């Protein structure tokens, strides 16, 4: 048996991973709120951004926490395709959950369905990420603890989706983001508690890449995306804020130009963070 250490850097990796999860949750909540106030292509673009934010936040949380995971007697490396696949799964299942909740006709059933789908997907992301680990030995899991981690993931995902479609107050959204970050972290460490390692010193040719070669740069890139995107969305005024500024005479309508009326005309720098790129019918209602 290999001796596991989940906190080889002390509290640094748990705290940083928690902040990544909170940043993704905060950005996702804000984008989902604005998507709910829009329709058509504008809503779709906000939800895509929300899925990318929450999924990236969960994935980054997992792999930042994994920097603190060490096993005595073996180095750890990562299989690149499985690592990338775990990120894709995190984003796709989050997007699916948001779609189910946003477009579902029955709010309660939509929340349950979306929460279950997203929770199972988050758990799948976690265990795909663990399957990407290469070491001089093999991993085995305690089935009961794995089941508990899946339940935690489903509960966290359901709560997150409920918050995404319900909370309107900024302070409540901040509290929800902190709670969601804690729930995702609890799921991760519950899943890690299920891990047992059986070392095999004779095993050679681990393959894969070291964390510093691939996982670290990708995690830093996604973390930068989350914080920059959060600042972009937080600083851009909502429809209510624009109306308040205009009513108070603090700003003129020219300072909030409407997007082009023709769908083939693009704004400069349009992209993922420009939800109005392919639609203008809901620009004034996006919140």
Domain coordinates in residue numbering, the chain: 4-236
Q: Could you give the 3-state DSSP secondary structure of residue 237? A: coil
Cα dist from 234 to 24, 26, 85, 238, 274, whole Å: 13, 10, 30, 9, 13
Reported confidence tier of residue 141, pLDDT bands at 50, 70, 90: very high
Is 41 in contact with 212 (CB distance < 8 Å)?
no
Phi then psi dihedrals of residue 136, to 5 deg: -80, 70
DSSP for 19-68, written as a single string: HHHHHHHHHHHHHHHHHHT--HHHHHHHHHHHHHHHHHHHHHHHHHHHTT
pTM: 0.76
Res 151: pLDDT: 94
Instruction: Inform me whether the pLDDT recorded for 237 exceeds 60.
Output: no
pLDDT at 242: 53
Place of tokens 């604005």: 34
Residue 274: pLDDT above 80? no
Q: Which two tokens stand for residue 144?
A: 């009961």
Q: What percent of the chain has pLDDT over 90?
A: 20
Note whether 103 and 235 are within 8 A (CB): no
∠ Cα 191 176 27 (to 5°): 90
- Give the chain's end-to-end CA distance (angstroms, integer): 54
Q: How confident is the model at residue 271 (pLDDT cuts 50, 70, 90)?
A: very low
Cα 47 to Cα 116: distance, rounded to the nearest angstrom: 18
Of the chain, the percentage scoring pLDDT greater than 70 comes to 79
176: Cα separation from own chain's centroid: 14
Q: What is the mean pLDDT of residues 203-208?
A: 72
pLDDT at 194: 92
Choose between 216 and 76: higher pLDDT.
76
> For residue 178, what are its two tokens?
């902190």
Residue 269 has pLDDT above 60, yes or no: no
pLDDT at 209: 82
CA dist 163 and 248 (Å) reads 31
Ranges 81-85, 135-139, 234-238, 255-259: which has the least confidence: 255-259
The span from the CA of 191 to the CA of 106, in Å, is 32
What's 74's DSSP letter?
B
Q: Which residue has the higher pLDDT, 128 or 221?
A: 128
Please give the structure tokens belonging to residue 191: 């899943």
Q: Per residue in 8-33, pLDDT tens?
A: 888 899 999 999 899 888 888 888 88
* Highest mean pLDDT out of 41-55, 155-169, 251-265: 41-55
Q: At 6, list the tokens.
A: 């989940």
Tokens standing for residue 84: 């990338």
Q: What mean pLDDT comes out for the span 70-81?
A: 88
**Across 95-103, average pLDDT:** 87
């Amino acid at each position: 048996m290999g001796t596991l250490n989940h906190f080889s850097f002390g509290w640094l990796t748990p705290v940083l991973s928690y902040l990544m999860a909170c940043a993704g949750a905060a950005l996702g909540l804000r984008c989902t709120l604005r998507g709910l106030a829009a329709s058509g292509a504008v809503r779709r673009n906000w939800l895509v951004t929300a899925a990318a934010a929450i999924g990236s936040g969960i994935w980054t949380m997992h792999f930042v926490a994994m920097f603190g995971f060490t096993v005595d007697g073996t180095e750890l490396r990562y299989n690149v395709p499985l690592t990338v696949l775990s990120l894709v799964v995190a984003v796709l299942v989050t997007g699916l959950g948001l779609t189910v909740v946003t477009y579902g006709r029955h709010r309660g059933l939509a929340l349950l369905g979306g929460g279950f789908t997203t929770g199972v997907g988050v758990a799948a992301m976690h265990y795909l990420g663990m399957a990407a680990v290469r070491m001089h030995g093999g991993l085995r899991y305690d089935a009961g603890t794995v089941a508990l981690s899946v339940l935690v993931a489903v509960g966290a995902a359901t709560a997150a989706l409920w918050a995404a479609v319900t909370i309107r107050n900024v302070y409540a959204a901040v509290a929800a983001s902190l709670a969601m970050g804690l729930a995702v972290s609890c799921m991760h460490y519950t899943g890690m508690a299920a891990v047992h390692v059986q070392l095999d010193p004779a095993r050679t040719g681990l393959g894969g890449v070291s964390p510093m070669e691939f996982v670290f740069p990708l995690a830093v890139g996604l973390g930068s995306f989350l914080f920059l995107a959060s600042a972009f969305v937080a600083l851009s005024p909502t429809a209510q804020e624009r109306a308040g500024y205009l009513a108070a005479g603090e700003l003129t309508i020219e300072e909030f130009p409407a997007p082009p009326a023709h769908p083939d005309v693009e704004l400069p720098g349009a992209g993922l963070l420009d939800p109005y790129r392919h639609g203008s019918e809901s620009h004034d209602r996006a919140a």
